[in-house]
Amino acid sequence: MQIGKHTVVTFEYELRDDMGVLLDASTDSGPLTYIHGLGRLVPGLESALEGHAAGETLEIVVPPESAYGFHDPARVDVVPRTTLDPSGDVSVGMRFESRTERGIEVATVTALEGDNARVDANHPLAGIELHFEVEILDVRAAVEGEIDHRHVH
Ligand code: ZN
């Protein structure tokens, strides 16, 4: 069976950036299963899988505009550390929820600059060209209820 709208697809993947650095892989979490055509994957990956079948291994390159978008400098702020933690005990990689004019956002501390912290509310993969290696393990038709519930049974 070929991957098409409302097929249920199981695949293993490795995700690297354009320098070859491993960003994510299914080896830790196990194979990913999703219902095709519901927008569960980044658009460029989902469209590239269309028409392929179990047993195939694919190299798929997804540009930022078909993945997590471009890095927006307006979503980077430099704030006093004490606004993030009263004691100023802040380190790179910490994530904070903040209320902005765009609503509640999760921002990551990307650098410390003296008493200030640089926080970035972009998606961590914004602006990154995604290099997937995908091995399709299984493709089947959705069973009753899966489409209505929008999840795999
Ligand atoms: Zn259900």
Ligand 1 center to residue 40 CA distance, Å? Answer: 15
Does position 101 have pLDDT exceeding 80, yes or no? Answer: no
Ligand 1 center to residue 143 CA distance, Å? Answer: 10
Does position 83 have pLDDT exceeding 80, yes or no? Answer: yes
**How wide is the angle at C-alpha 57 spanned by C-alphas 15 and 150, nearest 5°?**
70
pLDDT of 104 reads 82
Does position 59 have pLDDT exceeding 80, yes or no? Answer: yes
CA dihedral 66, 100, 103, 76 (to 10 degrees): 10
Question: What is the amino acid identity at position 14?
Answer: E
Ligand 1 center to residue 30 CA distance, Å? Answer: 21
Ligand 1 center to residue 146 CA distance, Å? Answer: 6
Question: What is the amino acid identity at position 143?
Answer: V
Ligand 1 center to residue 34 CA distance, Å? Answer: 13
Cβ atoms within 10 Å of 136's Cβ, excluding its own: 20
Residue 28's pLDDT band, with cuts at 50, 70 and 90, is: confident
Mean pLDDT of all residues belonging to the chain: 94
pTM of the predicted model as reported, rounded to 2 decimal places: 0.82
Distance CA 115, CA 112 (A): 8
Ligand 1 center to residue 9 CA distance, Å? Answer: 16
Ligand 1 center to residue 139 CA distance, Å? Answer: 19
pLDDT of 91 reads 95
Ligand 1 center to residue 153 CA distance, Å? Answer: 6
Ligand 1 center to residue 147 CA distance, Å? Answer: 9
Nearest to 33 by CA among 1, 7, 62: 7
